[in-house]
Amino acid sequence: MFDTLYIDAHLATMAPGKPYGAIERGAVGVKDGKIAFVGHAADLPVDKAALAHELVRCDGAWITPGLIDCHTHLIFGGNRAREFEMRLQGKSYEEIARAGGGIVSTVAATRAATKEALIESAAQRLAGMTREGLTTIEIKSGYGLDLETEIKMLEAAGELGPRANVRVKRTFLGLHALPPEFREDRAAYVALVAEVMIPAIAAAGLADAADAFCEHIGFTPEEVDYVFAAARENGLELKLHAEQLSNQHGAALAARAKALSADHLEYLDDAGIEAMARAGTVAVLLPGAFYFLRETQLPPIAKLRAAGVSMAVAGDCNPGTSPIASPLAALNMACTLFRLTPEEALAGATREAARALGLQDEIGTLERGKSADLAIWNISHPSELSYWLGAPLLKQRVFKGQIVQGT
C-alpha cells in the first residue's frame, strides 16, 4: 500500500540508459517520503485506487526529479542594480569600486543586515526557484568574511529549508574575497579562515562543504590548498570556483584534493579536463554568470563530454555576476550559450547536480529508494524545460512525498 500513487503521467526518470530515462504512461508510488515504485502503470494491478491512500491523476503531465541548484550565493544583503546601471552608463569597474561598489558593498550590506532580513530577501528569490520545481539548493556563505557574519549567513541558509520546503546544503566560502580590514595582510586572513573559522563552523555543524574563489582577483592555488587541508581535517567536503576568469589550474587542484566539483571552468585546459575525468570531479557549469558578464570564452564542453566528465548545470544566483533566480533559465542558457542538449541540461540540474553535492544516492533521479522529490510539469516533452523562458510550466512540486506546491 502506497501513501500516494501518481498516475496518468509520463516520467523522465533521468536514470541512465535511454533518453531522459523516459517511461511513457508511467506511475510513481510513494511510501514514507521515498519512491517505492517507478515504472509502467500497466505493470501495476488494474484497480489503482486500492493501491494507495491517495491517488493523484496527473492528466498526462511529465514527472521529473525535483530540480537541484548545486551552486548559489542565495544569501546576501542589498543588491547591485545601481552598479549595473552605472556600468551600462559606461562607468568602469574601478570607478564603481572606488564609489563603494563591487563585492565589498555586498559584504558591508550583509554585515549590516539582521539574520531575519537575510532570510526574508533570500526567501523571495527562493520562491522564484521553487515555482520552477526546485527541491534542493546549495547555498554558499562568503559575503561576511568575518566569523560572526559567516555564521549568520549559514544559519539563515539553514532556516530557509524548512520554511520553503527545500533541502539545503550549506557551503562555507571563506576564501571569496579579501575583507577590507585585511587588505594589508592577506596571509593573516587566510590563516583566520583555516585555523579559526573552519574549525568553528564545522564544530557547529553549519556547513557540509568548503569552497574558495581560485582566481587572480581571488586566492592563489597555494592559499586554497592550505584552506582545503583544514577543511578536510574538519570533515568538510570540498568544492572550488576554478578557471572562471583565467587559468589558475584550479580544476586540477580540485581533482587532486578529491573535491566534489570544480565550478565555472571557462578557462579550463586539457590537463584540467584529464585530471577531472580521472578523479571523477563534477564540472559545474554556470551559464548565468557567463551571460551576465558577457563572457566570450566558452567552457570546453565538447572536450568535457568526450572525456566523460560529469556536467552539472547551476544558477550561481548572486548580486554581482548572476542576479538570476530561475533554474529553468539556467537550463535554457546551458543549451543556447553552451550548446548542451536539453537532455544534458536537465540531467545537469538533477542527476549530475546531485553528484556535485554528494547526494547521488538520495536524490537526482526517479529511482526506488530515493527521496520522493518530484516536479510535475504541464509539458508534452521534457525538452520543453530547456526551451521556454518565463513560462509557468510547473503543475505540482512534491518534497519528501508531500505535495508542497500546486493542487
Interface residues with Fe ion (CB under 5 A)?
316
Closest separation between CB of residue 6 and ligand DI6, Å?
Answer: 38
Closest separation between CB of residue 230 and Fe ion, Å?
Answer: 21
Q: Does 68 bind ligand DI6 (CB under 6 A)?
A: no
Closest separation between CB of residue 73 and Fe ion, Å?
Answer: 6
Closest separation between CB of residue 164 and Fe ion, Å?
Answer: 21
From the list 130-138, 253-261, 317-325, 379-387, the region that binds ligand DI6 by CB under 6 A is 317-325
- Sheet holding 209-214: strands in order across? 67-69, 134-140, 167-175, 209-214, 237-242, 261-264, 282-285, 311-313
Q: Does 321 bind ligand DI6 (CB under 6 A)?
A: yes
From the list 1-9, 34-42, 152-160, 316-324, the region that binds ligand DI6 by CB under 6 A is 316-324
The CA distance from 55 to 51, in Å, is: 8
What cell numbers appear for 292 in the block?
Answer: 551576465
Q: Does 241 bind ligand DI6 (CB under 6 A)?
A: yes
**Which one, 33 or 78, has the nearer CB to Fe ion?**
78
Closest separation between CB of residue 342 and Fe ion, Å?
Answer: 24
From the list 9-17, 40-48, 146-154, 314-322, the region that binds ligand DI6 by CB under 6 A is 314-322
Binders of ligand DI6 among 199-228, rule CB under 6 A?
213
Q: Do the Cβ atoms of 312 and 283 come closer than 8 Å? A: yes
What is the number of alpha carbons within 13 Å of residue 107 lying toward its C-beta?
A: 22
Q: Does 310 bind ligand DI6 (CB under 6 A)?
A: no
Q: Does 262 bind ligand DI6 (CB under 6 A)?
A: no
Contact with ligand DI6 (CB under 6 A) among 27, 52, 96, 103? 103
Diameter of the chain measured on Cα atoms: 73
Going from the C-alpha of 176 to that of each of 103, 115, 155, 241, the distances in angstroms are 9, 20, 18, 9
Closest of 277, 374, 330 to residue 63, by C-alpha: 374
Partners of residue 68 on adjacent β-strands: 136
- Residues comprising the chain, all counted: 407
The CA distance from 180 to 186, in Å, is: 10
**Which one, 243 or 316, has the nearer CB to Fe ion?**
316
The CA distance from 360 to 343, in Å, is: 18
Total binding residues toward ligand DI6, as defined by CB under 6 A: 11
Q: Which does 396 bind (CB under 5 to 8 A by kind): Fe ion, ligand DI6, none?
A: none
Angle, helices 147-164/115-130, rounded to nearest 10 degrees: 40
**Which one, 51 or 108, has the nearer CB to ligand DI6?**
108
The site for ligand DI6 (CB under 6 A) is made up of 103, 106, 176, 213, 241, 244, 289, 318-321
